[in-house]
Amino acid sequence: MSSSNAELKRAIVDGLKHFVAFFILIGFVVTCNFALFFNFIQMSEAEIRKAAPITFINVLILTLLFCIIDITRRVWMVMRPVRRIRDGLDKVMAGDFSTQIQYIKGEDSDNEFDSIIKGINDMVAELAGVETLRTDFISNVSHEIKTPLTVIQNYAGMLQSPGLTEDQRKEYAKAIHDQTKKLSELITNILKLNRLENQQIYPDKKEYNLTEQICESLLLFEHTWEKKQIEIESDLQEDVYICQDAELLSLVWNNLFSNAFKFCKENGVVSIVVKKENDQVIVSVSDTGCGMNADTGKHIFEKFYQGDTSHATKGNGLGLALVKRVIDIVGGNISVQSVLGEGTTFTVILKES
Ligand code: ADP
């Protein structure tokens, strides 16, 4: 109420200022014209004095008319859009990110206010997305941390029970160990992703042997493929050199292999292809695992997304988000082909330099 009173007061003061300004302007113009006119037709002083009050009233009416026209123009063309923008911004400042300010003429008009409104609307939509991501991120992280913590708490409690056999003690200790490892991996991945997403990363490009790097990464999973008796098929073009950031790309291969071995069935096959085509390098990692349906395939690069199939296995849904971020940073491309129940192929295409 007090703010609308203040607005009214300001409008009246503004109106009066306008009135005085117009009055001086019109008065000056009309006086000059009349002075010239009277001088020209050589009227007597008495006649001029007689005509003066009528001229003054004319000037007053003209001033009022111009003043009303100008105020109406200002209210309609300036104050109305400004008020609409301000009301919209007030809502956004109060935390309502669903706000979209109504356009004055239309989204595509060349009205200056509409271009400001469009900018604000786009910014608010972007903020709404960021806000959703932030809240989703917090709830995902909390969930991912809470689950292993509950397991650790339960097993730690059981470890305290008297009369445990050696096997039970080992089993409970192993469960605690596995869950702490999972927690540590989760936090490492969050930190990596945070660094990749929030800092401007300038890839440290150096020429290196990609075939060698892929073999080294593959060997890290030797224990897993032996345990699951997975056959490895490789079609690696020898000594493919690439000028890229080796440390960033090792994240990609480690995650792709980790998933291939994780989702591959026992006695399955994991195939790796590395080849050079023109000035591009193509790396593909395939497995004869559980595969995924088209809907899962659409979301796998999102943070914390886990397909149904993965709930029975280890993971936190951050691996492929990291992979995608790295591929974007180095200017490459990643695609996935998968058939549910049959297997999956990830294909990475990188520029040679
Ligand atoms: P995580 O493996 O920790 O669940 P990722 O981000 O690495 O998280 O993968 C996201 C999801 O993509 C997985 O939960 C799984 O559903 C699907 N996925 C990834 N790689 C494969 C694969 N090789 N075979 C089948 N599904 C896969």
Q: 300-345: per-residue pLDDT in tens?
A: 999 888 886 555 557 788 899 989 999 998 999 999 999 999 999 9
Give the number of the atom of ligand 1 that is nearest the alpha carbon of residue 301: 6
Give the number of the atom of ligand 1 that is nearest the alpha carbon of residue 291: 25
The mean pLDDT value for 125-143 works out to 83
**Which DSSP letter does residue 102 get?**
P
The mean pLDDT value for 35-51 works out to 76
pLDDT tens-digit map of 188-230: 888 888 888 776 677 888 999 999 999 999 999 999 999 999 9
Residue nearest to atom 20 of ligand 1 (CA): 259
Q: Distance from the CA of 290 to the center of ligand 1, in angstroms?
A: 10
CA distance 309 to 322: 20
Structural domains of the chain, with CATH: 2-96 (no CATH), 126-198 (1.10.287.130), 206-351 (3.30.565.10)
User: Which among 217, 230, 234, 327 has a CA at the least distance from the CA of 273?
Assistant: 234
Tell me the residue ranges of DSSP E strands in 137-262.
Answer: 206-209, 231-236, 241-244
Residue nearest to atom 16 of ligand 1 (CA): 307
Which of residues 139 and 162 earns the better pLDDT score?
162
Residue nearest to atom 3 of ligand 1 (CA): 315
CA distance 118 to 107: 7
Tell me the residue ranges of DSSP E strands in the chain.
Answer: 206-209, 231-236, 241-244, 269-277, 280-287, 333-339, 343-351
Give the number of the atom of ligand 1 that is nearest the alpha carbon of residue 255: 7
Mutate to test the pocket of ligand 1, among 259, 264, 288, 299 (most ligand atoms within 8 A of CB): 259
Return the pLDDT at 138.
83
CA 256 to chain centre: 25
CA distance 180 to 174: 10
